[in-house]
Amino acid sequence: MKKIIYSLLVFFCIGNIVAQQTPADKQSTAISIEGATAHLGNGEVIENSLIMFNEGKITFVGSAMMRIARMGTVINATGKHIYPGFIAANASLGLAEIDAVKASVDVDEIGINNPHIRSLIAYNAESKVVESMRPNGVLMAQITPRGGSISGTSSIVQLDAWNWEDAAIKVDDAIHMNWPSSFTRGRWWLGEDPALKPDTRYGKNTDDIKMYFANAKNYLAGQKSTINLPFEAMKGLFDGSQRLFIHVNGQKEITDAITIAKSAGVKNIALVHAEGAESVTDLLVKNDIGVVLERPHRNPNSEDDAYDYTYTIAKTLMDKGITVAVGMEGQMERMNTRNLPFYAGTFSAHGLDKEDALKMITSNSAKILGISDMVGTLEVGKDATLFISEGDALDMRTNILSKAFIQGRDISLETHQTELWKRYSNKYKSE
């Protein structure tokens, strides 16, 4: 019996050491932040601002020069900057912890068409990767499944929670589809020509997608003798309550994807990746389709693209009136999500106005994800999800957070990384 008790004590001690820190309590006192330069997320900037919030909601946004009573605890942020919480679109945070450990990876499911697979219920709110987002101002994310033709359903979470139920901001916001390419490469490992060539299966692949949409629509409109879960999950695409995120590259593929989805009755569409979108901007504007770009720190996919294509594409699309956000899909995407503000900063360094770059990870992301009524800008009535930075939050040299709030809750900015940094800093100071 003693051995069992000792084992349990060791287990709980180890659990307390490795577990994420306790999520912040619900806001109980009003807070006023004055003196900071407020970047509202909609392109506007207020010097010497006053931001007040209570019970998780913003109650005042304006100048600190106004004669208005400060509420509750007053934070003097003179010389600092205040921003809306950053939103990571198309991320897989919390769905995998260590890529080399299969048991910790839950980003995709077996099968080709899985619209009924919900990423939210697999989300690990206690992921150590998730907690490392907050010190850079990344406070919300769209948790997105991967794989297959239809990957599944994403949800939007805030990044300081006990579990996925507490974390959820918007449940089952969108279904994600991977559009086929009209080109293919040979399998070099089988001796095939690795050069890029037209894919003779492209027509059949797109016909299969048309048929799947048609079958789902007919099922939903008819008498249901048996329940088809994948088709049931498609209902939101046809009634407008969900958005279809199409992961697609290529001018032809983008045009086909939009045309086929619209003709199938899908009401709301967003594009992910969308290389070649600059050639079909009129189509995107006409259909009010937003674009979630890939991270800029990569090489262009086409040999015909300019050397700086991946850095300037955001400005090209936004100048045409397209709503553009930054997505995280790619190599080491979960760990790299903490660099979201610096990707926006890279777009800013290549022609995009700094406040427009900020929109890509605040108001534009919120609009594309369908949560702009709650977050994305510093506005009265919206969630008090925001942070204070010592300097420019899009610059890794000056993105130093002193305070962060999610729904008014004063959250911890400590992570296992900051704890290790402090531990070993003290070690070398003592020598």
**CATH number of the domain within which 235 lies:** 3.20.20.140
Residue 209 lies in a domain: yes
Same domain assignment for residues 323 and 396: no
Mean pLDDT of the chain: 93
pLDDT for residue 187: 82
Distance from C-alpha of 136 to C-alpha of 83, rounded to nearest angstrom: 11
Residue 137 belongs to some domain of the structure: yes
- Is the same domain home to 172 and 62? no
The answer to whether position 416 is within a domain reads yes
Cα angle: 75, vertex 78, 80; to 5 degrees: 95
Helix extents (H) in 266-339 = 281-286, 309-319, 333-336
**Inside any domain, residue 7:** no
Cβ contacts of residue 293 below 8 Å, gap of 6+?
Answer: 273, 274, 313, 314, 317, 324, 325, 326, 327, 360
pLDDT at 17: 43
Q: Do 389 and 356 sit in the same domain of this protein?
A: no
What per-residue confidence (pLDDT) applies to 350?
Answer: 96
Structure tokens at 339: 């660099």
Q: Residue 403 belongs to a domain with what CATH number?
A: 2.30.40.10
Angle between helices 340-348 and 309-319 (to 10 degrees): 80
Same domain (yes/no): 225, 103: yes
For the chain, which ranges sit under pLDDT 70?
1-20, 430-431
Domain assignment of residue 11, yes or no: no
pLDDT at site 196: 85
Report the pLDDT value the prediction gives residue 223, as an integer from 0 to 100: 84
Q: Which two tokens stand for residue 231?
A: 């088709």
In a shared domain, residues 54 and 164: no
Are 366 and 259 part of one and the same domain?
yes
Q: For the packed helices 202-221 and 251-263, what is the interaxial angle rounded to 10 degrees?
A: 20
Quick one: pLDDT at residue 19? 52
Give the list of residues 6+ apart from residue 270 with CB closer than 8 angstroms, or none.
174, 243, 244, 245, 246, 289, 290, 291, 292, 368
DSSP label at residue 230: H
Interval 372-383: pLDDT, tens: 999 999 999 999
Count of C-beta atoms within a 10 Å radius of residue 209: 20
Query: Tokens for 392?
Result: 């420019």
**pTM > 0.95: yes or no:** no
Overall domain count for the chain: 2
CB neighbour list of residue 243: distance below 8 Å, 6 or more residues apart: 173, 174, 175, 237, 268, 269, 270, 368, 370
| Final residue before a domain boundary, out of 343, 375, 407 | 375
Give the structural domain span for 341. 86-375
Q: Is residue 13 part of a domain?
A: no
Does 239 share its domain with 279? yes
Question: At CA 155, angle to CA 257 and CA 20, rounded to 5?
Answer: 140
Picking from 330, 345, 375, the residue at the C-terminal end of a domain is 375
Do 127 and 75 lie in a common domain? no
Q: Same domain for 337 and 421?
A: no
Q: How far apart are CA 312 and CA 316, in angstroms?
A: 6
Sequence-distant contacts of 179-186: CB under 8 A, at least 24 apart = 179/209, 179/246, 179/247, 179/248, 179/253, 179/256, 179/257, 180/149, 180/205, 180/206, 180/209, 180/253, 181/249, 181/250, 181/253, 182/250, 182/252, 182/253, 183/250
One domain for residues 91 and 212: yes
Q: Which amino acid is at 421?
A: W
In a domain, 257, yes or no: yes
* DSSP letter string, 14-78: HHHHHSPPPPPPPP-S-EEEESSEEE-SSS-EESSEEEEEETTEEEEEEETTS--PPPSEEEE-T
Question: Dihedral (C-alpha) 262, 168, 231, 209: value to the nearest 10 degrees?
Answer: 40
- Looking at the fold, whether 324 and 265 belong to one and the same domain comes out as yes
